[in-house]
Each structure stands twice: as structure tokens, then as C-alpha cells.
Amino acid sequence: MILHLALAADWDAAVAVGEYRVSTLGVTLEEEGFVHACSDLLQLRGVAGRYYGQVTEPLVVLEIDEERLGCPVRLEVPEGTGEAFPHIYGPIPVTAVVAVTPFTR
């Protein structure tokens, strides 16, 4: 499974249209070229602390089944991190999301 931290409002909008197209906070798939994701909860908590610390809107964790995506997923090491993260190179069909959990810090 792959994890993605999302604004609850972005997820709700995706459910309405059938696919999720947000790369990361305030950035679309089209702008970034892929959707940022995490391999586990430890990585996700690190991302939340680094990039979502000032967010006051509700957040959710999307648990994504890679087999249901229909697009490439590549483990890549972002510059300056030394840690590999899964990057999803296409929209996420809502049917690929097998669980949605409210995120609490």
C-alpha cells in the first residue's frame, strides 16, 4: 500500500469526479508531473510535520492499492533527502483508494 496525505476537501472533490489529481498541498498533478506519496506512516508523519504544519483544514490519509492505479509508480529520492518516496505518475482513481482515515497529529 501507498499512503498520501490530502486535504479532506480535495478528497471529497475527487470522489465527485472519480479521480484524485492533487500532487501535494496547493500543487496539482499537472503542475508537478506526479502525485507525492509515502511508503509508510513514519514517512507520512515526517511529510506532515515538514509541509502541513500550518494547515488548519481537516486532513485525511489515503491508503492506495498500487495494483489498482493503472499508472506507473516510481520510488525516487528527492534532492537533499536521502530517502526514497513513491511518486505516482498519473491520476489516482477513487477505486484505487481502499481506505480513508482522518489524520491527527
Q: What is the pLDDT of residues 14-28, one digit of tens each?
A: 999 999 999 999 999
Least Cα distance to 6 among 71, 49, 58, 54 occurs for 58
CB 23 within 8 A of CB 35: yes
Q: Domain boundaries in the chain?
A: 2-97
CA-nearest of 2, 102, 3 to 57 is 102
Q: Model pTM greater than 0.85?
A: yes
What fold is seen in the domain 2-97? ADP-ribosylation fold (3.20.170)
Instruction: Determine the pLDDT at residue 81.
Output: 81
What are residue 81's phi and psi, to 5 degrees?
-105, -40
* Structure confidence by residue, pLDDT tens digits, 29-79: 999 999 999 999 999 999 999 999 999 999 999 999 999 999 999 999 988
Q: Residue 14: its pLDDT value, please?
A: 97
